[in-house]
Amino acid sequence: MTDRPTIEPGRIEPGRIDLKTRLKEAGDLSLERLPMLAVVFDRLTSACTDNLKHLVASSVFFSFSGVRSGPFGEMLDAYEDNAVAGIFHAAEWDSHILVALDRDFIFTMVEALFGSDGGEPPVEDERPFSAIELRLANLVFEQIGKALESSFSLVSATTFRMERAETRMEFAVIGGRTNKAVEAKFMIQSLNRGGEMCVLFPQSVLNPMRPSLSKVLTGESAARDPHWTRQMAAEVQKAQVTLRAVLEERTLTLGEIADLKVGQVIGLDATPSTRVMLEGNDRPLFWCHMGQAQGSYVLRVDEAIAQGKEATEDDPAR
């Protein structure tokens, strides 16, 4: 009788992979279950726009198109002979990611860089990329690497070092063709034309981040810019608001208003102790008491009026 080796509980036998891990890595990523991934990609669009706008005189806008998962080879085939791929090494993740810029993206950036006004028709040429276009692509890749670092710092800080650029997708290898990958697509718009950028991640890279990517942001965003917050607050405080003090309001019929004559006296129910309602842009703000100081009428604020609540306290002003 042969003795079978015993395996300690919770310990994985050498040469085997935990079944739970294999099932997790085999499953497709669902953007709905990873809300922080959408936040990261939204930050990436803003960061790419900010990083590239100082390179060109024309306005450049990025927008997030969507994300999907599937075989790595299938995603690369869509860009064969039509894109420049940049390979980045993410040291802290011990992995690589791929950023592809399609032909329209490159041509749009070239025209924007050299001062085109968009009057010429878009270039529709299937020729190989020129040396200038490839150098421009490398310049763009450097800025995108910086944008990736700032965007992913929310969930997992790492550096993205540009290693090389490829124009033939069979050489842009960061994983097996059948391996699962996640593809995020972005659109660029400038000079009334545009192009496409895609970012490819091995799914195995994002799997360890699932707990962080599954979080839902509540309250204030953790990614807010302090400078922008101060600037916004300063500008809001400069807004002018017209205040109106209402002692009493009377309801008259249209006939009574039509009969009003110059010199006619309209009686009020208000007394010296009646509180005045202070309004701003037709919204009740405060109850006040009216008095005099240095020959002028003044108001003393008594209490704030809750927003959304009718100002109908037992006061003749309402």
Domain residue ranges of the chain, discontinuous segments joined by +: 26-215, 237-260+268-304
- Give the strand order in the sheet containing 95-102: 61-71, 180-190, 193-202, 95-102, 83-90, 160-166
Mean pLDDT of the chain: 80
Query: Could you tell me what percentage of the chain is helix, strand and coil, using 3-state DSSP and rounding each to the nearest 5?
Result: 30, 25, 40
Confidence class of residue 314 from pLDDT cuts 50, 70 and 90? low
pTM over 0.75: no
Please give the structure tokens belonging to residue 276.
Answer: 């005045």
Cβ neighbors of 179 (< 8 A, separation 6 or more) are 71, 72, 202, 203, 204
Confidence class of residue 239 from pLDDT cuts 50, 70 and 90? confident
What CATH number belongs to 26-215? Answer: 3.40.1550.10
- Measured CA to CA, the distance from residue 312 to residue 316 in angstroms comes to 9
Q: What is the pLDDT of residues 76-123, one digit of tens each?
A: 888 887 899 999 999 899 899 999 999 888 888 888 887 776 667 667
Is 237-260+268-304 in the same CATH topology as 26-215? no
- Measured CA to CA, the distance from residue 16 to residue 129 in angstroms comes to 46
- Measured CA to CA, the distance from residue 106 to residue 130 in angstroms comes to 11
Please give the structure tokens belonging to residue 41.
Answer: 């990609």
What CATH number belongs to 237-260+268-304? Answer: 2.30.330.10
